[in-house]
Structures are given as C-alpha cells and as structure tokens.
Amino acid sequence: MAQTKVLVVEDEPNARAGLAELIASWGYRTETAVDGVMGLDLVVRWSPDVVVTDLMMPRMDGLQLLDRIGELPQQKVAVVVLTAQGSIESAVDAMRMGAYDYLQKPVDPQRLKTILQNAQQQAETNEEISAVEISSEENGRLGPLVGSSPHMREIFHLIERIAPNNVSVLITGESGTGKELAARALHMFSGRRNKPFVAVNCAAIPETLIESEIFGHEKGAFTGAQERRAGCFELAEEGTLLLDEIGEMPAATQSKLLRVLEDRKLRRLGSRDEIPVNVRVIAATNKDPHQAVSSGELRGDLFYRLNVFNIQMPSLRDHKEDIPAMAEAMVQEMNDRHGMQVPGISRAVMDRFMAYSWPGNARELRNTIERAVILANGKSIDVSHLPPGFGEEQHTPPAHGAHLTQSATTFSAPANSNDFVHLSVGMTVDEAEKQLILKTLEATRNNKTRAAEILGISSKTLQNKLKEYALEDKDVLES
C-alpha cells in the first residue's frame, strides 16, 4: 500500500490538508494541488495511481481535469470525484466521463478508505484487462461471451471500457440474448472479480417478499421472519449485484433502491440502523426502458441513476455469423457438464441453425445444443438429434392478428383449439390483447409460464393482466 500514490486536488486549504493527512495515515503516498491546472501538471510529472478531486474549482474544474486526464497517453488513473450534497447529477456525469467513483461532502472516511482500496485492486488488474482487449479481438471471446461480429465486438469494447469503473450499467435486450453473461463479464474484468457476483430476478420473487430478498430483514420484521436474514446487497458486499427484470420491481421497492444507490446505505426491514454497502449494481430488462418509464413501470429517476451506461444485447437473428463459434463453445460447455465427448456439429445441422430465426435467442440455442449433446452420446450432432420439425418452419413471436404458431417440442394444442385470434374493425386494442392472451392460454392448456414466454411478457405481467380482466383460473379454462 505504501507504493500507491494518491493526488488530492482541492481549492479549499483546510479540506485539502485534512484529506491528504487522512489518506497518508492509511499508508498512501500523497501530493496535493490547489486546482485542476496544478493537478494535471502533477498527474503528468508524478504519475499518481488515484486522483481525488473536487468538482467545483477555479481555472480548471473537476470535470475538465477528468477529461484532460482521459486524453493522456499513459496508464489509466483512477479518478474519484467529490461532490456537494444534492449534486448527484454532476457525479453521474463524471462517471459517464470515466471517473472510478464519487463521494459526497462531507467525506465519509470509511467510504473513502474503501474506495481507495478498491481502486488499488483495480490498478492491479489493468495489465490483465489490457491483455484481454487484445485476445478478445483475436479469439472472439470475452469471458462467457462469444462472437466476432460487429455487434459483439462493439459490446466487448464497451465492457472493456466500463468494467474497471465503479459505474452503474443498464443491460437491455430480448429474453435469452445473454444479459446475465454480459453482467458476469463486467464483474470478471473489474477489481471486484474475486468478490461475490449475486443475480436476482425481480420478476420471479413475489411482491410481498422482494424487499426482504434485496434488503434483508430482522427477526420479527413480519409474520414468518423467525431470524435475521441478510439481503442480496449484503450477500454481494464488495462485489456485483445484478437486478434482472428491474421493470418488474414494485414502485415502493424502486424508491428504496434509489435511496441505497445514492446514499450507499440500507436498512433491513424491521431495523432502524443503517448499514453501509459497497456494491456495484447492474440492472437488466427485456423491455424498452423508455417505454417502461412512460408507462410508470420504472421510475424515471431510478432509470437515469442506473443508466449511466447502456449495453444493448442484440437478438441472435441480428448476428447469425456468430452462431458457429457460439455453438462450438456450447458443445464444449455441455460436454463438460454432462461428461460427454461430442466432437462437433454436422454441416446439415449448422445449415439449419443458420436458416432458423431463433426467437428464443442464445438461450434457445444453448437448450437445443444441450438436448443434442445428450442424444448424440459421443457422436457428432446430426439432424436426428434436433427437436422434431426443427427448422422446417420459422417460429416467430405472434403479431397483432397473426396466426399463433407453437413448437411441437414444447407443447401441443388441444385438438379442438382454434389457433386464430379474430379481429374486427372497431375492436379496441385492449380487447384484441385479451383475446390473444386467452387463446395462448388455451393453446398451452393454461400453462401460464409457457404462455408468458410465447407472448413475450413476464409471468407477473400475465398475472396482472388476468387480474385486470377479473378472470380466475376456472374462467380461463372455460374461455
């Protein structure tokens, strides 16, 4: 730690001296600068590992200093910005520009110490990350992600750029496109990689339990709370927390999450005590986040707090050139998982893969390959190992008034099922939507999970729609 150099840039003399003295007491070498101009000069001449800078300064402010540091052709410097109360927007701007983290004034010493420790760990991984930037171009892989198409190269570059910084990220894309894999790559190439990665699906947790799952609870906080329980934030301490399907989180929970992101502290349910948290939060959604904000499903202030950077995962049909490499990697993955030695995939199968539209995206490809690896039992995967009828017709999500298609390997409709949704001029959009939902439930024999997948909505959204229609299970079955 004695070799780590920290530059303090602050125009107020007492604050500057106090910060430098505090940081030096933890074993760091320190230097100080009275403004951004002097700070930039010291960055060039002294080469600090970390710069702690105020935002508001004469001659050159903190954002200008951050921008100029980013232009220097030398090893990356972790920049921590100090911001006044109520200036979160400025801090978020700094994060977008490449700041490692931010602190609100008055500075919390323990929080500053933690940030400096994390920044030091990140500096130790920078060389490895630089090597990954080269190998990802050559090998078409970045952690669990595979691909060399323009879409995937762009995602790789973005992950390499933002992984080292303690910045929030919103990952968007259709179901099955690999949003969790992108989150794991962000974690893997950050200074938090040796700490926990915790993923929670907000759509899979009942509304009555989601606050407890995320924030934890004390014994007796509610009926059934027989002991204290740590939530996902505490389980992910010093690591990364992925909040998948963030748009399904109840509004009250979104409000509490926003407070935790801004204050870096939380309260367990039933507790009056605040617990400091050091967690990087990544959120993901298969919805258009702007539409979710407009419809009230996602709080606007939470969206802007999470969306410091956005990674848009492409649908598999938009980067089919990556399918051969992805399939090869998945065959190896399934060989390892099931103790098989399948050598590869036949040309006939690959031709079908390339012609198929993959409505389930990479997840559907993985499930198809897992099934084939098990059936192949050590031989190359051929057409006989694919699901019956695979690739003979395109399986696409139903459009308004379109025929409802279904995969024979997943479910089969009742013999008397009418697969058409009948629309007429004058029918409202709500009524058309209701007909589509009821017909899909009929075709799946009231399997709500499968119906939600076909409709491209979450199970929770489907349940809410049925409540809106005031339909019980028996009503659905009799429709």
Boundaries of every domain in the chain: 5-126, 158-312, 316-385, 397-479
Asked if residue 477 has pLDDT above 50, the reply is no
Type of residue at 26: W
Tracing tokens 């012609």 back to the chain, one arrives at 355
Type of residue at 332: Q
User: Following DSSP, what letter does each residue of 257-270 receive, concatenated?
Assistant: HHHHHHHSEE--BT
Percent of the chain whose pLDDT exceeds 70: 86
Q: At what angle do helices 150-162 and 109-139 cross, to 10 degrees?
A: 150
* Paired tokens of 317: 């049909």
Strands 78-83 and 101-104: parallel
pLDDT recorded at residue 407: 36
Domain spanning 397-479: CATH 2.30.30.280: no
Asked if residue 358 has pLDDT above 80, the reply is yes
Q: Do the domains at 316-385 and 397-479 have one common CATH topology?
A: no
pLDDT per position as a tens digit, 416-475: 445 556 666 566 777 778 888 888 888 777 888 778 877 878 777 888 888 877 765 444
Residue 141: closest CA among 195, 190, 199, 184: 184
List CB contacts of 191: < 8 A, sequence separation 6 or more.
118, 119, 121, 122, 123, 124, 125, 164
What's the CATH class of domain 158-312? alpha beta
pTM: 0.71
CATH topology for the 316-385 domain: Helicase, Ruva Protein; domain 3 (1.10.8)
Residue 169: closest CA among 310, 312, 314: 310
pLDDT recorded at residue 400: 35
CATH superfamily assigned to domain 5-126: Response regulator (3.40.50.2300)
Four-point Cα dihedral 430, 446, 409, 245, nearest 10:
60
User: Following DSSP, what letter does each residue of 375-387 receive, concatenated?
Assistant: HHTTSPB-GGGSP
Asked if residue 215 has pLDDT above 50, the reply is yes
Q: State the pLDDT confidence band at 319, using cuts at 50, 70 and 90.
A: very high
Backbone angles phi, psi at 286, to 5 degrees: -95, 5
